[in-house]
Each structure stands twice: as structure tokens, then as C-alpha cells.
Chain A
Amino acid sequence: MRRKGFSRREALAVLGAAAGTAVLPGCSTDQGSRSAALQVWGGVPPESGPAAVVEAFQRKFPQHKVTYTRYVNDDRGNLKLDTALQGGVDIDVYFTYGLGPLALRAGSGLAADLTDQVRRAPELRPFLDTEQPRAYFDNGRVKGLATASVPSFVMFNEKLRRQAGVELPHEWTIEEYRATAKRLTTADTVGAYRVPDVARIALGPDYWYDGDRSNFGDPHFEQEFRIGQEMIAEGSAFRWTEVLSRHLDVYQQNAFLGEEFHLWPTWPFNLRYLRDAKMYPHDFKVSFAPLPTVDGRDWNSGECGNFLMVNPKSPKQEVAWEFIKFYLTEGSGPMLSAGQLPSLSNLSEDQVISGMLGEEPERYFDVESFRRVVLDPKLKLATGTRLTAFPEIRLAEKQQRDLCWLGEKAPGPAIRDVRRVADAAIARNDRRP
């Protein structure tokens, strides 16, 4: 006899099936699921500035709503962003930080062409400059706009500098940098964290490339490896065994705050650790010196970065552009606390100082040297425009630098190995259609 209705087991099974199939809508890329708010993805935590930028934008344009989503700016975070963009997730505007992903996204149809909008906005003309670019150009078209200027400089621990009786340099050579580090080295404190980017200071933007090959045959690369190795050996630079064991490549600030080393070639984003002595306890002031010159050449090894890009699939192109324009021209003030110097000089020096150096700038910073060095309008930022095989070359250089500075490999063979890998990677990438 045929039974009517469901048994409890059957009902449970149906429930389970329903639960299972309920996950499927999550895979949908339906345009209908797009939010009315402008969706912005970035790598900076919202409380470190982006939330305030969004709030200011919404105050000025109450008709627009913005939702900021943070992704972690590492390999996995970037992969998440890439798959989200490819998979049709509701993203209108996004930030790109690394130069590798920048080229990939711009060249793979994930970034809208902003050239015409930039041309139409007189206040954004600096972004059309190709000599010292603040935009990322893909086949001559603007695909990304740098929001931050990231100059490199050398930070001094003032307390230790005065104790050692060393003059704060206004200009110096790489040899003087090394001699100063040696003078500052004591039984408790290493003179410098590391040698600055010698090759980049000497060669400027796109310093890895020479025509259709790599440029690692240039002697400045070997010079950098050699000086670094010698400084570590003489004790005036941090032991590389310690750098690798303690992952200081990402935690240098801890060793600087702990006064383990003295000279710190670094970037503005690390100022956030020095402006807040409650969260990052320290009792010393810091002062600023420019990067040393190399053979009389003075490229700043910093660059323009943190690129804003628009998803070409976004149906909110106009609002997206409105947001980008606002961010670049008047909205970037809140990002100063995260150590981001605006790429357009649209803020006064005093605004930058109070925004970047905190409520008591004079207590923790030598403001005069900050103005002279970090806010120097004549800085020649070495922003790269050629990014062929960028991640492969970066890894090869890091691998060989580690071996060289651990004292396991001589500078010459180490650079020759970087060159071999870089040439092969460039050739392979150039062969791709």
C-alpha cells in the first residue's frame, strides 16, 4: 500500500538537501545581486584612515553610499581580490599595492581606462606625466592612479646620534653612510639596519631592465651586495642571520624601537610606529636624512604607489570616478595617520605634519629635518613602469641577497645567478602572446 506523506527520515533528508542547495546562491554572479552602494576594496584597515575618507565622501555626496572592504595585502589576499574581480563579485573600485599585481591587472582587462577622465580634470594633470609617473600606463592608457607618494629616507635615533657626536647629514655619499654606521656601532647597538638600495639610487626607475634583457650586469648591483656583506661582517649592519630568524623584513620597527640598531633606511608608512609612544613605547626622538648618493647620482628609491583602479565591469563608473577624484584631490587627509603621503601635493606642510606625526610632533620627531627631507618637493621618485617578470626577479634577487648577506656566497656569483634567472624570466614572458 502506498504510504502518504513523508517519514521523519525523509523529511530530515529533504531538509539536509535544502541546506546543501542553499549554498549555491552564494556562487551566483548575477548582476542583480549588486549593491546600491559603491564597493571599494583596499588593504588598509578601515580604522586607519579609509573609514574617515569614506565618511567625508558621503558627507560631500550624500546621494552616494560607499562600503569599504578590507583585503589583506599579501599573496593570498591579492589572489582573493583577483578571483573576486574575475568571478564578478560586486567591486567597483580597488587598491593595488604591489607592482606585480599592478601590471597583471592592468594588462588583463581588470582595470578600466581612466585616460579621458584624467584629461578632463585639470587638477589631475600631474597624473599624465610620464617622466616621473604617478599613474600606471598600460600601452599609453592610464589604468591606475597612485594615491600615495612613498619617498625613502634614513631615520636617525636622535638620542644615540647625539651620544655618538655625529652630525645629522643634509647630503652624504654611500661611503659616508657606511662610515657613519661604523661610528654609531657600539657594544649594544648596531650602526645600521642595512645598506640602502644602491643600484636603484644610481640607476633610477626600471633599474632591473636593459632592453630585452635584465640589467644585473650593471656593477651597482654587485656593489650593493658587496657593501651589505662587508658592513655585516664588520658589525656596522644588522646580522642577516638575525634578520631571517626574527623575520625583521616585516618587523624592523620592533628592533628600531628597541634601539637595537641606529640608522634605518625606511618609508613614511613606518612613521606610524613612532608617533604613538603609548602603543609603541619608546623615549627617543627621530631625525631624518636623505638617502646617500651613489657616484653622484641621487634617485630616491621610493616611488608613487597604492594605486586606485576601477573595475571595468562596474555599472557605477561615474560614481567610482567621483570617489577617485575626491580621494586624490581632497580626501586623502585621513590617510596621513597611516603614514601615507598624498601623491598630489594638495595639503599644506602643517596639515601633513600634524596628520602624519601625531599630536605631539616635536616630542618624537625632529620636525625641521622631516620638512627638509620627507617633504622635499625636488625628490626624484624612481617609480617603475616596466614590470616584466617582476615577481620572479624580485624573488631571485631576495634569494641571492640572503645567501650573500649570510656570508654563504660571494657578491659576484650571487648577482650572476640573479641575472641568469632574470634573463630567463624576461625571455619567457616576452615570448607569451
Chain B
Amino acid sequence: MGTATVAETSAAAKPTAARTKKRTKKAPPGIRPKGWVGLLFILPNLLGVIAFTLIPLVSVVVLAFTDWNLVSGLGGIRFTGTDNFVAIAQDPAFWKAVGLTLVYAGVSVPLTVILGLALGIALNRPLPGRAALRAIFFLPYIVNIVAVGMTWLMLMNPNSGLVNQVLGGLGLEPGWFASSNWALPALIVMAVWGGVGYASLIYMSALQDAPRQLYEAADIDGAGAWTKFRVITWPSVLPSTIFLVVTLIIGVSQGFGLIALITAGGPGDSTTTLSYYMYQTGFQFYRFGYASAIGLVTFAGVLVLTLLTWRAQRGRALHD
């Protein structure tokens, strides 16, 4: 039934139905028309997706229009219309969290991308010990977040940490996680450190696909390094850059682990980003309706940013 169903759906939807149907009829030998077998194969995963993604997703949308504290049970859900969204618009803590998230993303994402590209280009060249270097730079991405957090906490101790002992020689002694001015920059440093290896890996893969013949032609034409980068390398890696920017923005907007582990949103509210504010509202204050509304607004914001990023690169990538 499976292949027949695909054909029927296509036929109903498009004028190319006849061609599709024809093609479906000539399915490769060995594929039997038994869609239920395929369904059974994916059933365990499907159940997981329904239980742990689809239902929570729908619940968040519904809860965003309610006042609910979880412990009162489903009977305690009280629909409040758009009250939560009106409250969000008037909530100074929310807008501060938006600002902090934009700064966090606005600094950490470009830095990660730029350093990742530079590292990717460097590691793409024949270097002694290149494989080991690649592994070392990728290591922060896979190390346990708790170990990472605790190590940085010690390194950035304002009184006895290694970082300040080095910076002290330059007359600098930032308070890092014990200062409301420095805590967010400290988190940005950690985010960039953790993400550069991953970005460089993506770029290395993209650079492998950059057309060799264009570089050779550019060499013959006498193009300089900057021109080659601007005209060949950058357009070649643009799709990867867009992928990185989008995934890093999503990662930052969801970033929670390091903040929960190291600063708990503080000192004061200096590292209370949107995701942490949502956590506080839901899991500390038990305002699940309001937290869900914050989640929806965050989702809308990330969606807009993603679409803008995607539109910005349209037609600029180098297609081989």
C-alpha cells in the first residue's frame, strides 16, 4: 500500500501526477507495497517523538494562554486569553533578558564563526600534526559541560584564578563570574571556546568542496589572497556559515546548562538570559503558563532571525 499511497497523494496534489504515478509503478524490484512494515519500523521512534516532542509542543502552545502552577493538576488550568502576552510586553525583567540574550548571541555567534573560519582555513592546510590539532580544537565541544563549567570557574576566580594572574601583569583584574559587568563576557568567552572547534570542523568540510580549478585560475590571473578569499572561499563556505549562524543562534537562545551551573542568572540578574528567565519562571516560580508564553515569544524571535539570515544569503552562495 505504501508506494501506492505516495502515488495517490502526489496525483491529488500536482498536475505532474501522471508522471509520478508512472514512475511509482516502476519501483525498483524488491520493494514490496507494504507500507505498514515501514511504519512498524519507525513506530518506536514515532512514539517517542509523539510523547516527548509533539505533545509537549502542543501543550506549550495551549499553556501559553493559561495560568497554571503544575501542582494543581489539569483541573487547575485557568484560561486567561492573551493576558500572559500582555504581561510579557510590560515585564521589565523579560525585556532585560531579551537584551542580554541579544548581546550574548550578537557577540558570541560572530566571534565563533570568524574564529571557526580562521581555524578551519588554517587546519585545512598541510601542517605537521594536523589531525592531532583538529582533535584538540574539537575537544571542548564534546567535553562534559559540568567539567567545563567547574574548570572555567576555577580559572576565572577573580582572586586566585589563573586568568587573572596572567591579566594582573597587564594591570587588568576582571571580576568574571563575581561581577555583574563581567559575568556575561565570561560566559561569551566560554561559549566561543566551546563552539570554535565545532565551527572549524564544519568549515573544513566546506573548504574541501571549494572548487580547486577556481583557485588555480585565480593564481594564473594573479589574484591576491584577500581577493581569492572574497571571491572564491567566502561564497563557497556561505551555506555552511548560514547553517552555523542559525544553529548557533538557536543554541544560544536555548543555552541553559552553563548559566544554571555557574551563575544561576547572577550576580543580580546580569546573566538571566531568555532561556534562564523562562526556567526561573516555570520551575522556580511555578508560573508554567507565563513560562510557556515566554517560550513561544522566544520561538517567534528565533524564527524571524533565522528567516532573515536565510534571506540575506539567498543568491550569494557559490554553486559549483
Contact = CB atoms under 8 A, between A and B. Distances in A.
A108 B178 contact: no
Given A13-B37, A110-B71, A245 B44 contact: no
Nearest to B36: A13
Interface in B60-82: 67, 69-73, 76, 78
A432 B283 CA distance: 18
Contacts of B158: 241, 245
A182 interface: no
Interface stretch (B132-140, B219-227, B266-274): B266-274
Contacts of B283: 75-76, 79
B35 to A, nearest CB: 11
A19 B69 contact: no
Interface string A1-42: 000000001101110110111011001000000000000000
Nearest to A399: B268
Contacts of A85: 71
A16 B67 contact: no
A406 B67 contact: no
A86 B177 contact: no
| Size class of the contact patch on chain A | 35 or more
Contacts of A62: none
Contact of A245 (B43, B48, B159): B159
A406 B179 contact: yes
A347 interface: no
B70 A86 contact: yes
A10 B37 contact: yes
A238 B265 CA distance: 22
B71 A104 contact: yes
A240 interface: yes
Contacts of A391: 284-286
Nearest to B47: A20
A27 B71 CA distance: 18
Given A17-B40, A82-B71, A245 B157 contact: yes
B41 A16 contact: yes
A408 B44 contact: no
Given A16-B44, A241-B175, A244-B178, A108 B266 contact: no
Nearest to A389: B285
A281 interface: no
The A contact surface, by secondary structure, is helix
Contacts of B177: 244-245
Contacts of B41: 12-13, 16
B178 A406 contact: yes
B165 interface: no
Given A19-B44, A86-B73, A408 B179 contact: yes
B170 to A, nearest CB: 19
B69 A108 contact: yes
A254 interface: no
Given A245-B178, A402-B267, A406-B179, A105 B37 contact: no
B280 interface: yes
Contacts of A400: 268
B25 interface: no
A433 interface: yes
A100 B285 CA distance: 9
A113 B10 CA distance: 62
Given A13-B40, A17-B43, A392-B285, A109 B180 contact: no
A118 B280 CA distance: 36
A408 B48 CA distance: 48
Contacts of A20: 43-48
Most buried by A among B37, B69, B269: B37
Interface in A85-135: 85-86, 100, 104-105, 108-110
A141 interface: no
B298 to A, nearest CB: 20
A21 B47 CA distance: 8
A82 B38 CA distance: 39
A66 interface: no
Contacts of B67: 432
A246 interface: yes
B34 interface: yes
A201 B266 CA distance: 27
Interface in B234-286: 265-269, 280, 283-286
A163 to B, nearest CB: 25
Contact of B284 (A21, A83, A395, A399): A395
A402 B44 contact: no
A161 interface: no
Nearest to A79: B283
B39 to A, nearest CB: 8
A158 to B, nearest CB: 28
Contacts of B161: 245
B198 interface: no
B318 interface: no
A432 B34 CA distance: 55
A403 interface: yes
B148 to A, nearest CB: 15
A182 B181 CA distance: 30
Interface in A240-276: 240-242, 244-247
Nearest to B87: A428
B268 A433 contact: no
A239 interface: yes
Most buried by A among B46, B48, B161, B284: B284
A83 B69 CA distance: 11
5 contacts: A17-B40, A21-B43, A76-B283, A82-B71, A110-B71
Given A19-B44, A399-B266, 4 more contacts: A85-B71, A242-B159, A245-B157, A391-B285
Listed from nearest, the 3 A-B pairs whose CB atoms lie closest are A20-B44, A13-B40, A241-B178
